[in-house]
Structures are given as C-alpha cells and as structure tokens.
Amino acid sequence: MLYKVLKLLIKTRFSPSFFVMIFLLIFYSIISLVDGGQRNISLIGSIYFGFIITVFITISIILGGVSVTKSDQEFLLVSAIKRRDMVLPLFFAQFLASGLLMLAAALVAIVELYRGSPLLIIALVDVVLLTLFSVSSGIALSDRPLYMRIPIAALSVLWILSPYLGFRYGAISFLATDPYYSLITVLPVTVLSLVGAALVLSGENLPFRVSGMRRQARDFRKTSTYAGLSPAIAIIKLGITQVSIASRSSSLGNIRATARRVQFTTFLYAFTIAAILYAVVVAKLNSSDSYIPIFSGFGFNIYALILVLYGGSAPQMMMSSGAMAYERAWLSLTSMEPGRYINTLIISKMLQAALAGIPLSAANIALHFIGIKGTLGAIPVFEIVSPFTVGVYLFMAFSVRPYQMKDENYIPARFSATQFIMVFPLFMFYGIAFSTMFYLPSLIATVPLMALVTALILTRQRYWERRVNKMVEAGFI
C-alpha cells in the first residue's frame, strides 16, 4: 500500500521533466566532485550557501504545511488507508517537491567548498539533515498560528547564522570549521523536527489540519476604493498598493496556495528598516578592504554587492508573483483588451518595484555622501534593473503556462521543468546588476538594451490576444 500511495502521489504531482531538471543540477554537483582540487571557501560561495539555507528554512517555517492537492484531501486522506501507510509517501512526496530542490541548489555550493576534502561526507550529511529539517519543520508546524511560527523562524535564522557571531555549533559552521561541530546541533534538531512531522502526518485529524491551516479574520481591516477611477488608474492603484502573496511554502519549490495580501506600505516600512540597518552596519564596518577597485576610478563596495545579491530581485519578484497567480481571465480579460490590461498590470508592478527600492537607494546615496566609496552602483540596480527584471518576470510568467490559484491550501499545479524557466530573469538580473556594480558606465550599454526589451514587452498587443487563447485552453480562467 505504501508503494501504491507513493506512486500515486508522484504521478499526480510531478512531471518527468521536473526530475530531469533536478537530476541535471545534482549531476553538475557530482561532476564537480571528480574535479579534484583543494578546499576553497570563497566569500561568495559561503554567502550563497547561507542564503539558500536561510531562505528555504525560513519560508518553510513561516508558510509551511502539509502540501497536498485538492484531490488528495477529498479522496486520498479520507480513504480507508491506515494513516501510518501514508506518512512516508506524504513526506517523501513533499521532500521531492521542495527538499530535493534545496538539496540540489545547496550541493552545488557545498561540493565546490569541500572539493577534494575528506570531510565532504560529513558536510553532505549536514546538508541532507538541514534539507530534511526544512521540509519536516514546515509539516510539524502545519496549522500553528503565525505568532508561534515567527519566533521559531527567528530562532532558526539565529541558529543558521550563529557561526558568523562566533558560535561554533551553528547550522552552517561547517563553512568555516570542522563539519562535526555543525552535526552536534543539526542532528538532534532535525530528529526532533522529523518526529514532529511524523506525528502530524500520522494523526487522525490530518484532513482537518490541511484544510484548517489558515486563521484569518473574515473582514479586511483596511480596504481600498476603485470607484470613479479610469481603467488604467484602477489597475495601477491595485498593482502598486497591494501585494498579493502567492506563497511557495515548505521551501521555495513547493507551491501551496494561500490567498494573502499585504499593503505595500508594510513592505515599504520593511525596506526602510532594512535600509537603515544596512546604512548603519556599512558605516560601522567600512574599511579600506570593503572597497574593491575594478577599472580606472571604478569599483564596488562589498557590502553594497551583498545587498544587491540579497535584496535586489527576489523580494521584488515575490511581490509580483501573486499578480499572475490571482489574476482572473474571465473578469479582467473580458473587460478590456488583454494586451492593454496585462501591459498596465506589468507597468504597475514595475513601478511598485522601483518604489520599494527607494529606501535602499537613499541609504546608498547617504553612504556615498559620508565618503563610503563604491555604493552608488546599487542605486540604478534598485531603480532601473529591479523594475526591469520584474517586467521580464511577469511577461514570462504570463507567457510560460501560468499557474492560477483558485483554491487555498492546496498545490495548484503539477511540478514541471517549466517552472525553472523563471530562473532566467534572476540570472539576467545578476548579469546586469553586477555589471552595473562593477563598472557604472556599463549602464550606457545596458539601459538602452533594457529600454528596448521593455518597449518590446509593452507593445505586444496582438501577442496577448493569441496568448489568452492558450492560457484559457490550459485552464487559466
């Protein structure tokens, strides 16, 4: 029975192309293994690794839960199958969706860091355990309220990043010290979390826990008005003032729909606090080492580069992803020309990204005026490159078979390789952002290019008429 359930879950949730992509990533890591060489912990490599682990685990804890399809809940979870026979298949299917992706992403870095080292195996055990922790913590906290999840997530972040504060037993201290030290905390924490997940998955009330994960007030505290606005202004107002979260919970690869919206002002406050913290930290830590000259008179500040790496694209893309997932073709695209509607929507989200970047840009201007070199390059990244990336991201999101969220708490679409295409805007962002950071005059070439691509995106009127047909045929209604 266990095997049958697992086979059913895999067939209904994944397309073969998804596994092909994951295994290509893992294959790349294995190929790197036989390359030999010395252990080489680069700054960027360890930042990347820390970033991946922190983001996946934080999202899993805050937004996680048991990921099932609507059919799973309505048929599988209420069928006469012993609950214990479902624990492993449900966990494994969830691990395939999110943990495997995290493992593949992290392996690339860890193999590079430990290439040729006998400690590689222990480091790999650490990484696998952290991946299991990411998936199981989300399941274990299934229907727990947000006020309980946030402190747990904060504690986890502290645990993950504690090696930077000098704690040698932190989750990722193997980046700097012996991986056995990490294992001392990673192993018991993961076992605890796995037990918690097993209890949730084997519990008789699992179907109710899946459907009852959200505890929100019936009414919004604050609503907006659109009456009396022109169509374009209504779309732009909605696009700028609201952020619909199409959460990908239980780690980034695992999509479970939650219809949440956040006022843009909340994001703006968060960006402002981040900008103040960033400015204070950079001003305090500034030294001659933090400025890295590249070409004659140009160079970048390492902290500004880290800021761009962490905050220049992912938050903006997250803020835009709901615009596609919650769109309703039967309402918007029957009300006006699809091209005009989608273009205005894209513009609104580009403007939102530019507005979100203002506090961080202001922080960099302030740092420049107090004499910290190499920070100016971050400003065009937040005000030009980020909005441009959002434009490309949304264009692609509507062009590559978009998923639509109609029911909450369920996986809305099968996992397939097409979702990896959405990594393309991220790579494009890093390419342009780093060239801007490294050599500011590169904007002379990249700005006209970005303007041209934006113009091409926003003038595709006939394209959207054809595209709507494909979207509706694929069930986007």
Round to the nearest angstrom and report the end-to-end CA distance of the chain.
Answer: 37
Which structure tokens are listed for 371? 């004499």
Q: Does 326 bind other proteins (CB under 8 A)?
A: yes
DSSP per-residue codes, 117-161: -TTHHHHHHHHHHHHHHHHHHHHHTTT--HHHHHHHHHHHHHHHH
Q: Does 265 bind other proteins (CB under 8 A)?
A: no
List Cβ neighbours of 25 (8 Å cut-off, separation of 6 or more): 104, 105, 107, 108
Q: Does 223 bind other proteins (CB under 8 A)?
A: yes
Q: Does 473 bind other proteins (CB under 8 A)?
A: yes
Q: Does 235 bind other proteins (CB under 8 A)?
A: yes
Min separation Cβ 473 and other proteins, Å: 6
**Which residues lie across from 91 on neighbouring strands?**
none
**What residues from 127 to 186 belong to the interface with other proteins (CB under 8 A)?**
none
**What residues from 390 to 409 belong to the interface with other proteins (CB under 8 A)?**
405-406, 408
List Cβ neighbours of 249 (8 Å cut-off, separation of 6 or more): 59, 60, 62, 63, 64, 65, 67, 138, 255, 256, 258
Q: Which C-beta is closer to other proteins: that of 35 or that of 337?
A: 337
Nearest to 129 by CA among 66, 174, 161: 174
Q: Does 226 bind other proteins (CB under 8 A)?
A: yes
Stretch near other proteins under the rule CB under 8 A, chosen from 14-22, 45-53, 115-123, 335-343: 335-343
Min separation Cβ 405 and other proteins, Å: 7
Q: Does 266 bind other proteins (CB under 8 A)?
A: no
**What residues from 435 to 454 belong to the interface with other proteins (CB under 8 A)?**
none
Q: Does 25 bind other proteins (CB under 8 A)?
A: no
The answer to whether 199 touches 142, Cβ cutoff 8 Å, is: no
Stretch near other proteins under the rule CB under 8 A, chosen from 194-202, 272-280, 331-339, 385-393: 331-339
Q: Does 228 bind other proteins (CB under 8 A)?
A: yes
Q: How far is CA 98 from CA 64, 65, 232, 248, 414, in A?
A: 11, 12, 38, 9, 13
**What residues from 296 to 325 belong to the interface with other proteins (CB under 8 A)?**
322
261: DSSP letter: E
d(CA 474, CA 476): 6
Q: Does 219 bind other proteins (CB under 8 A)?
A: yes
Residues forming contacts to other proteins in the complex (CB under 8 A) are 216-220, 223-231, 233-235, 238, 242, 244, 259-261, 322, 326, 328-338, 341, 405-406, 408, 465-466, 468-469, 472-473, 477
